[in-house]
Amino acid sequence: MGDSLQIKKQPKQYDAVIVGSGAGGGMAAYVLANAGLKVCLLEAGANFDPAINSSQLKNPWDSPRRGASTKFRPFGDFDGCYHGWQIEGEPYTHAEGTKWDWWRARMVGGRTNHWGRISLRFGPNDFKHKSIDGLGDDWPISYDDVKPYYDKIDKLIGVFGTNEGLVNDPDGFFLPPPKPRLHELFIKDAATSIGIPVIPSRLSILTKPINKERGACFFCAQCGRSCKVYGDFSSSSVLIKPAIATGNVDLVTNAMAREVLTNASGLATGVSYVSKEDMQEYQVQGKVVILAASACESARLMLNSKSTQHPNGIGNSSNVVGKYLHDSTGAAMGGYLPKLFGRKRYNEDGVGGMHVYTPWWGDNKKLDFARGYHIEYWGGMEQPAYGFGMGVEGQNGKIPINGKTKEAGGYGASLKEDHRYLYGASVGMAGRGEALALASNYCEIDPSVVDKFGIPVLRFNTKYSEQEVNQAKHMKESFREIMHKMGAVITWGDDGADKQYGLESPGKIIHEAGTVRMGDDKKTSALNKWSQAHDCKNLFNVDGGQFVSQGDKNITWTILALSMRASEYIVDQLKKQNI
């Protein structure tokens, strides 16, 4: 049939081999390439350039399923992310009685192609929670260590927002935010009147141009499809494209990393991978190996990289790799604003996300949960997609249409009148909060299951604690108050204790982190404060794995800052020949 399987060793010796091209990997490639280092960037998925591959500005009828989700694109037929919850031939398992949903993007730029662009710095408290409430652990670094990198990221990538002088939602270098939409003005008035702050959101979308390579946003609200003019942050467009332009990056797509290779001294020497294109085995050598395959994939790689020097997996003498797995909490509520029925039509798209949001405002000392959450908002006259108009029988009987009380359901010209009257009045909100990082929440290598490449898969074991449930309860109480104050009618999400207040199961929010955590003590952490493996000085992890805790923010901006910081350290250490 052909030659029997061999391992093909790439002859080139790189300064760094990077696994993963998302936020962390993209930033590492960018910094190293611009410093003149030779980089091999391995990406498990296909090539993707928003300028070419985005479905931006397609009409609903350009898809026979009108934008409905598919197994290839779970977020919708036009969404800018290949794959998600299930990948054929790449299973993962759970401990019985537990649930973890694992999102895996497979593309250049990873999930940064379709994400919400919510770009929030951690605040000073987020690095020192144990010192504040005794739970979890402090980071080995402080906000002061990371601030210079947040500052650089703000300017390099561009983020809009305002300086509000909030202690734990720090000021930055912001482009001007877009004006609030109509429902956002109502939300702002209602929420602030009951003590819940509403400030301009902070999204990595260019409301003003910042360089010649990227266009400014033109308000089509389709950041989720990725942007053809690079008006928002995707690692593919903003980091990898310029990195490749230096001539110092060899990007290998459809390359599934198998393990980190080591030598007799236990140092990393490179990465072995299987090419999805020809199903052949390859090895690539580098002076430094940087793992950025997403928190759980990086942990999986480390656990699967066993050797005499690293019997427990490379970098895992502490036994923490895979542990302390956490995700953002999430719970949502929605309904409609009667005052918006029959509303005047105009282009309400704006940017691909909320123009306002609520940063955490509570005092956890007075509450029955230790960590906070922020609130995201949506609603208004959105682009019709599959699902539009469904369930109208639940509304058109309860709501008088143009003053007429109708029987629920119906058909005909009367039904068309109903759809027109009800359109654009929906409103919704969701909390995104900090879950505790617990050693009892983890992923490990499944002892008996391999994927189609023969790579042992992950088995997940996670469960939310009372902390997270109480936090979700508070979210629902807050949302109910805001909805009532606005005069909105709640139609979904008003869940009680029996449904854990609608708390999403772990993994569903897709902010997973913690599995390769950093710390000063190598008995309880895998990385030091430079994102460098304690056990292997030329191995680094720069994705969500390195996080000690979540923060009441999402983690992308911090991934970028930490990756830039670690990458500059790598450049420095290579120069000094320390690694």
Partner 1 sequence: MDRRKSIKALLIGTAAGSVIMDSCNPADKKETAIVKDAATPDQADRTREEITHNKKLNEETFFTKEEMATIVILADIIIPKDEVSGSATDAKVPDFIEFIVKDMPDHQTPMRGGLRWLQIESLKRFEKSFNEISEKQRIEIVDDIAYPNKVKPGMKQGVAFFTLMRNLTSTGFYTSEIGVKDIGYKGNVPNQWNGVPDDVLKQYNVAYTEKELKECVSFDKA
Indicate the SS3 state at residue 225: helix
Going residue by residue from 210 to 249, which x/- string records binding to partner 1, judged by CB under 8 A? --xxxxx-xxxxx-----xx-x------------------
Smallest distance, partner 1 to C-beta of residue 482, A: 16
Quick check: 351 binds partner 1 (CB under 8 A)?
A: yes
Nearer of residues 31 and 223 to partner 1, judged by Cβ: 223
Length of the chain: 579
Backbone angles phi, psi at 167, to 5 degrees: -55, -50
Work out whether 179 is an interface residue with partner 1 (CB under 8 A). yes
165 binds partner 1 (CB under 8 A): no
Taking CB under 8 A as the criterion, the residue among 253, 298, 531, 567 binding partner 1 is 253
Q: How far, in Å, CA of 450 to CA of 34, rounded?
A: 38
Give the number of other Cβ atoms within 10 Å of residue 541's Cβ: 33
| Interior/surface letters 278-303, b for 16+ CB within 10 angstroms, e for the rest | eeebbbbbbbbbbbbbbbbbbbbbbb
Q: Which residues contact 545 (CB under 8 A, 6 or more apart)?
A: 291, 294, 295, 296, 298, 299, 513, 514, 515, 516, 517
Q: Using alpha carbons, select from 564, 463, 544 the residue that is nearest to residue 111.
A: 544
- Is 420 near partner 1 (CB under 8 A)? yes
Stretch that binds partner 1, among 378-386, 440-448, 495-503, 523-531 (CB under 8 A): 378-386
Among residues 3, 96, 144, 407, the one that binds partner 1 under rule CB under 8 A: 407
Closest contact distance (angstroms) between CB of 168 and partner 1 is 21
Question: Pick from 94, 147, 306, 419: which binds partner 1 (CB under 8 A)?
Answer: 419
| Binding status of residue 9 toward partner 1 by CB under 8 A | no
46 contributes a contact to partner 1 by CB under 8 A: yes
Contact 93, 458 (CB under 8 A): yes
Nearer to partner 1, 47 or 246 (CB): 47
* Binding residues with partner 1: total (CB under 8 A): 97
Q: How far is CA 87 from the centre of its chain?
A: 18
Q: Does 450 bind partner 1 (CB under 8 A)?
A: no
Which 67-86 positions form the footprint of partner 1 (CB under 8 A)?
A: 67-68, 70, 72-73, 77-78, 82
Collapsed DSSP state (helix, strand, coil) of residue 282: strand
The rounded distance, in Å, linking the Cα atoms of 380 and 427 is: 7
Of 195, 409, 487, 496, which lies in the binding site for partner 1, with binding defined by CB under 8 A? 409
Of the pair 254, 500, the CB lying nearest partner 1 is at 254
Minimum CB–partner distance for residue 270 and partner 1 (Å): 22
CB 542 within 8 A of CB 566: yes
Question: For partner 1, which residue of 92, 139, 160, 479 counts as binding (CB under 8 A)?
Answer: 160
**By CB under 8 A, residue 381 contacts partner 1:** yes
- Work out the burial of residue 175: count CB atoms within 10 Å of its CB; fewer than 13 is exposed, 13-18 middle, 19 or more buried: buried
CB 220, min distance to partner 1, A: 6
